[in-house]
Amino acid sequence: MSRGDHDDASSDPLYERLKTFEGRANTTGGRGKDPVNEPMIRHWCEAMGDAHPAYAGPDAVAPPTMLQAWTMGGLSGHAGLSSAYDEMSALLDAAGCTSIVATDCEQEYLRPLRPGDVITFDSLIESVSPRKTTKLGTGYFVTTRMDVRVDGELAGTHRFRVLKYAPARAGRKPESKPKPEPAPLRPRPVINRDNAGFWEGVAEHRLFIQRCTGCQTLRFPWLPGCNACGGQDWDTVEASGDGTVHSYVVMHHPPFPAFDPPYAVGLIELAEGVRMISNVVGAPYDKVRIGMPVRLEFQRYDEDLELPVFRALPGSEG
């Protein structure tokens, strides 16, 4: 999410009050409800589809991205913790900033967590931004930091940022007529060093699948390592473009800008065996069926965005 425009902070008494929360403890001396344990690691790995060998066996470590999981209080929460965060939220609510959206999260890992480790955690309000205006509305970015420790030693840090804001369209009835606006653009893909090769292929109207050079397992979407053997070396194979609809959903709600519900989102099984999520074109949303043969093509949505989509083959509609 873009941080939006930086409003004038010098004449914002609310911001001055919010600043006093910076550095205030939100949670002190929190304790994990369970020690780091193999069943939770196993469930996590199954849910994530991560079969990396480091997370199983007698020398198992916990996946680093589980960091926050060990601190979670579950439905019953953690008893007796003070909350500067609640106090600050109430202040923002009272000022009309009643909406909240999570914008990003960063984690740092300093030592691996292993089954049996008992974790403790402390969190604080690290920073509050000056008032910003975004497309969602006007409000403040609030960053909290949680430090997770084992035996007093810092194991990792979790930063979580939200925008607490006054909605730009507060009070507007959903049935009121929208003003004519330029057509909203589709969201941009997040291109990073792990998936850049995929998008370079798309620019040439080619669909590349990663292949582990260690065990030859194909993988999609693009990832830095192989889920089958943990190998980090890979090459690519080019998809033939043939596929079938393995499954699909029809999106009715919620409406997203640039999308016109109802529409079908397909899980396409490529002829090579991997699956990808894409749009099915060339068939009405209610004619998309499991098993429908489809063919890759590239659809241009705007000046900067071209995406692989799958066209229903003639006569294949259900």
> CB of residue 7 vs Zn ion: minimum separation in angstroms?
50
Residue 52 vs 186, nearer CB to Zn ion: 52
Give yes or no for residue 214 binding Zn ion (CB under 5 A).
yes
Q: Which of 88, 207, 226, 309 binds Zn ion (CB under 5 A)?
A: 226
Stretch of 58-66, 190-198, 220-228, 270-278 contacting Zn ion, by CB under 5 A: 220-228
Q: Which of 212, 239, 292, 309 binds Zn ion (CB under 5 A)?
A: 212
> CB of residue 51 vs Zn ion: minimum separation in angstroms?
10
Q: Which of 51, 229, 305, 307 binds Zn ion (CB under 5 A)?
A: 229
Residue 53 vs 261, nearer CB to Zn ion: 53
Q: Which of 265, 175, 278 is CA-nearest to residue 221?
A: 278
CA–CA distance, 293 with 245 (Å, rounded to integer): 7
CA 62 and chain centroid, separation: 20
Q: How far is CA 82 from CA 27, 85, 156, in A?
A: 6, 9, 22
C-beta separation of 211 from 179 below 8 A = no
Stretch of 127-135, 193-201, 214-222, 249-257 contacting Zn ion, by CB under 5 A: 214-222
Give yes or no for residue 231 binding Zn ion (CB under 5 A).
yes
Binding footprint of Zn ion, residue count (CB under 5 A):
8
> CB of residue 224 vs Zn ion: minimum separation in angstroms?
12
C-beta separation of 115 from 150 below 8 A = no
Give yes or no for residue 37 binding Zn ion (CB under 5 A).
no
Give yes or no for residue 89 binding Zn ion (CB under 5 A).
no
> CB of residue 55 vs Zn ion: minimum separation in angstroms?
15
3-state secondary structure 65-92: HHHHHHHCCCCCCCCCCCCHHHHHHHHH
CA–CA distance, 309 with 67 (Å, rounded to integer): 36
Contacts of 70 (CB under 8 A, 6+ apart): 32, 34, 36, 62, 113, 119, 148
Burial class from Cβ neighbours inside 10 Å (0-12, 13-18, 19+) for residue 41 reads: buried
Q: Per CB under 5 A, which of residues 104..133 are in contact with Zn ion?
A: none
Residues at the site binding Zn ion, with contacts judged by CB under 5 A: 212, 214-215, 217, 226, 228-229, 231
